[in-house]
Amino acid sequence: MASQGAGGVMNNAYMSQTMLEAYEYAKANGGIIARHQGGFWAKAEGWDRNQKFFGTTTIIALVRREMAVFSKWQPRKLGGEFPIEITLVDNREPVA
């Protein structure tokens, strides 16, 4: 079982089937998954709603397990920013 370290970061890369699918999907699409309008996460270019996508919870799980990092941010109208892209971390491999 994965244990949680300081700040909520997972100490190993244990991932569910959905997280593994998102990881492999990102690898097949240049190591990047982007957020689309409506909160869908999928390949950055050429995506439509009839294709594979992932939810925000899955994307956050990849980042918490240090398998990916948020690599692009968008400003909010009322201040602050929110993530709109992740990039896989090169030196990590998932554990099923």
Q: What is the pTM of this model?
A: 0.79
Residue 95 included in any domain: no
For the chain, the domain total comes to 1
- Whether 38 maps to a domain, the answer reads yes
Q: The tokens of 75 are what?
A: 């400003």
Two tokens at 14? 């244990």
State the helix-helix crossing angle for 17-28 and 56-64, rounded to 10 degrees: 90
Share of the chain above pLDDT 90, in %: 68
Q: Nearest 10 degrees: CA dihedral of 10, 11, 14, 15?
A: 20
Which tokens hold the place of 11? 């100490």
* Tokens linked to 23: 């990881």
In a domain? residue 55: yes
On whether residue 80 sits in a domain, the answer given is yes
For residues 6-31, one letter each, b for 16 or more C-beta atoms within 10 angstroms of the residue's C-beta and e for the rest, the string is: eeeebeebebeeebeebbebbeebee
3 within some domain: no
Range of the domain at 82: 8-88
1 pLDDT more than 50: no
Work out the pLDDT band at 48, boundaries 50, 70, 90.
Answer: confident
Residue 35 counted as domain residue: yes
